[in-house]
Amino acid sequence: MNTPVLPGLSGGQIVELQHFIGGKSCASSDGETLQIFSPVSEQIIASSARGTLDDVNLAVCAARAQFDGGPWRKLSGAQRGVLISKLADLVERDAEQLADMDAGCIGRVPIEPRLLDLPNAIETLRHSAGWADKIEGRTIPTSGYMGQPSLSYTLREPVGVVAAIVPWNTPLMITCWKLGPLLAAGCTVVIKPSEETPLSALRLAKLCQEAGIPDGVVNVVTGTGNVVGKALCEHPGIDKVTFTGSPEVGREIQRTAGPLFKRISLELGGKSPQIIFDDANLAAAAQGCAMGVFFNQGQICAAGTRILVHRDIASQFAQMLAGAAKSVKVGNPLEEGVQMGPVAKKGQFERVNRYIRQGIADGATVLAGGETQHQTGWFVQPTIFADANNDMSIAQDEIFGPVATVISFDDEEEAIRIANHSRYGLAATVWTTDSARAHRVAGKLCAGAVGINCWAPIDARLPWGGFKTSGLGRECGLSGVLSYTEEKVITVLT
């Protein structure tokens, strides 16, 4: 199998990546690097600087200097908006390359990030640019101060220097969900991309420089989570940590950054239900469910992999999904006609297969796919389980692979109860042609985003985030921008 080609390279060449700190590329202080492997060929495709505590300190100091009185802090909201808009234009100019960088690192079919991640990232930047001069306070009528009339009003101030810690599954889009709003609010940032996917974040930082955003406002330190990520969470120069990733690391971040009273927002995992009622348009529901399970090899936080189906149509619907799974062409994502590449890394391959074995051991029936033997590349088979119940680990745990579990229910109340019986609460979908039921059920689901007859509607203007173990706080839209501000109240006697 050919080595997948990252943009601008011919097969076999290795990209060498460095941090981007204070507007300059630099190696790590001890010269160490990390290797990045193609999930298709398992060959090295890139190496990145392996960040040290000194590198983190340098980057935080650069971001701090800009925040504490550098040229960035002197810009008005309108001026910041112009710069973020320019950045959006540059990302649009380089969109194909950026999409291909992300796709190449995790073995994704390039058309997916080109069609979804990049347009969303660009829109997020443009939407954020629009907010930059609209971050307003309020005047609040009070009963006065100790018998004297007074005027009270609020200001929204930027929270400070942000550490943005990002996962590998949709790296550029998630980086922009953080970068656009935090720049609009007037913050500065140190980005810590995932070990597997630092390319697009580094390019994005260089585009910030090209857009005219002052050096030091946007810094990128590459390296491991337990060195770079942890050091950022503990660094006294960091005011807020915005994290997207697993609940396990989210918990760890609360342990490190929480006691230091840093502001924390967490976008974590999910095990999102898709509820199919017996009056649903089954063809549309099957197509939507298949997308919710197979998109990005199922490596999506909002993957709708708990398929709850009314008992009368459960068997028919499970067969429809199994048919969809069998029709997916798995292979080298750069080959014509291939719809699904490998999962991103060896650990994911082992995790997916472990859950498939567990599902079988627990008594669920495999209708399509099943365990995959390893050859070259971390390919797994799209898998559909039927005859499952909601207590099985395949129904409760985030597998982060193309595996769905079909569970039947008898009535609306039971569907809601099963849907909400999960430690997660990120997204949910209701498939029905009864609009009153659709809204009734949507209102009762514990999820940050509910789609009615559509899976995981993501939009730059809509707040995104989870209930329960799926996270803390919201990204995107006005909620995302305000999450990078502190509210201050000022009172004057009148």
* Region of 25-33, 228-236, 288-296, 411-419 interacting with ligand NAD (CB under 6 A): 228-236
Strand order in the sheet with 15-17: 15-17, 44-49, 33-37
* Comparison of 18 and 244: residue with beta carbon closer to ligand NAD: 244
Closest approach of ligand NAD to the CB of residue 424, in Å: 9
Kindly report the length of the chain: 494
Query: Does 239 participate in binding ligand NAD (rule CB under 6 A)?
Result: no
Considering only residues 193 through 212, tell me which ones interact with ligand NAD, judged by CB under 6 A. Answer: 194-195
- Round to whole Å and give the CA distance between 312 and 451: 23
Query: Which residues have a Cβ under 8 Å from the Cβ of 214 and sit 6 or more positions away?
Result: 23, 66, 70, 71, 72
- Round to whole Å and give the CA distance between 156 and 179: 18
Residue 289: φ, ψ to 5°: -65, -40
* Comparison of 349 and 400: residue with beta carbon closer to ligand NAD: 400
Residues 84, 87, 93: CA angle, nearest 5 degrees: 150
Residues 481, 483, 485, 487, Cα dihedral to 10°: 120
Annotated catalytic residue: which of 267, 289, 398, 446? 267
| Structure token pair of residue 149 | 């009339």
Tell me if 483 sits within 8 A of 181, measured CB to CB: yes
Query: Does 98 participate in binding ligand NAD (rule CB under 6 A)?
Result: no
Closest approach of ligand NAD to the CB of residue 251, in Å: 10
Closest approach of ligand NAD to the CB of residue 486, in Å: 23
Query: Does 56 participate in binding ligand NAD (rule CB under 6 A)?
Result: no
- How many residues bind ligand NAD (CB under 6 A)? The answer is 30
Residue 114: φ, ψ to 5°: -65, -35
Query: Does 162 participate in binding ligand NAD (rule CB under 6 A)?
Result: no
Query: Does 188 participate in binding ligand NAD (rule CB under 6 A)?
Result: no
What end-to-end distance do the CA atoms of the chain give, in Å?
77
Task: Judge whether 289 counts as a catalytic residue.
Answer: no
Q: Which of 244, 305, 383, 483 is the binder for ligand NAD (CB under 6 A)? A: 244
3 state DSSP class of 413: helix
Task: Judge whether 487 counts as a catalytic residue.
Answer: no
CA-wise closest residue to 168 among 42, 263, 39: 39
* Region of 59-67, 127-135, 227-235, 375-383 interacting with ligand NAD (CB under 6 A): 227-235
Query: Does 225 participate in binding ligand NAD (rule CB under 6 A)?
Result: yes
Closest approach of ligand NAD to the CB of residue 334, in Å: 23
Query: Does 301 participate in binding ligand NAD (rule CB under 6 A)?
Result: yes
- Using CB under 6 A as the criterion, what x/- string covers residues 400-419 for binding ligand NAD? x-------------------
Residues that bind ligand NAD (CB under 6 A): 165-169, 174, 192, 194-195, 225-226, 229-230, 233, 244-246, 249, 252-253, 267-270, 301, 398, 400, 426, 466, 471
